[in-house]
Amino acid sequence: MATSLVLLTNADDIGWMTDAACAGVPLEVFVPDHETPGGLEAARVYCNPCPARASCLAWAMLHRCEGYWGGTDTYQRRQALRVRTRAKCFLCASETLVYADPHEVCLACGMSWVRDVRLEPLAATPLPVSAA
């Protein structure tokens, strides 16, 4: 059985929030007036070990949220939404990327983005086609 690389998140489902490591933490920690590198590091104390991190990040990207979500800041999520071909993952800087049309996926952290179809992949290699 093949393992899916894509985590589907329903835009209205917030059930993952009850399992989040940050449940009960004041909202100001994650949605401050001004984002700073120190604020992101403080948020990552909760985000890095969190079992709901992938759902949190997907939800924030679907809703174009401001603040710290899923271990990222607003700028990082905006960069992820840009269609482009990358040599490294924008989140963890790993070069272990695979190409799954039309996405590139980082094998180190699981982040994915839409690849610019006008360009050849730089570092990503195509995923093998699974035999049915």
Q: Assess whether 93 and 113 both reside in one domain.
A: yes
Q: Assess whether 98 and 116 both reside in one domain.
A: yes
56 domain-assigned = yes
| Domain around 15 | 11-81
Per-residue pLDDT tens over the stretch 7-37 = 455 556 788 888 899 999 998 899 999 999 8
As beta bridge partners, residue 103 has 100, 114
- pLDDT at residue 40 greater than cutoff 50: yes
3 domain-assigned = no
Per-residue pLDDT tens over the stretch 52-96 = 888 888 888 888 999 999 999 999 888 888 767 678 887 788 888
- pLDDT at residue 125 greater than cutoff 90: no
Count up the domains in the chain and report the number: 2
Q: Assess whether 24 and 73 both reside in one domain.
A: yes
Q: Assess whether 61 and 105 both reside in one domain.
A: no
pLDDT given for residue 129 in this prediction: 60
95 domain-assigned = yes
Token digits for 129? 């086609």
34-43, 89-98, 120-129, range with the lowest pLDDT: 120-129
Q: Assess whether 76 and 86 both reside in one domain.
A: no
Looking at residues 40-56, what average pLDDT do you find?
Answer: 91
- pLDDT at residue 6 greater than cutoff 50: no
Q: Assess whether 71 and 46 both reside in one domain.
A: yes
96 domain-assigned = yes
- pLDDT at residue 120 greater than cutoff 80: no
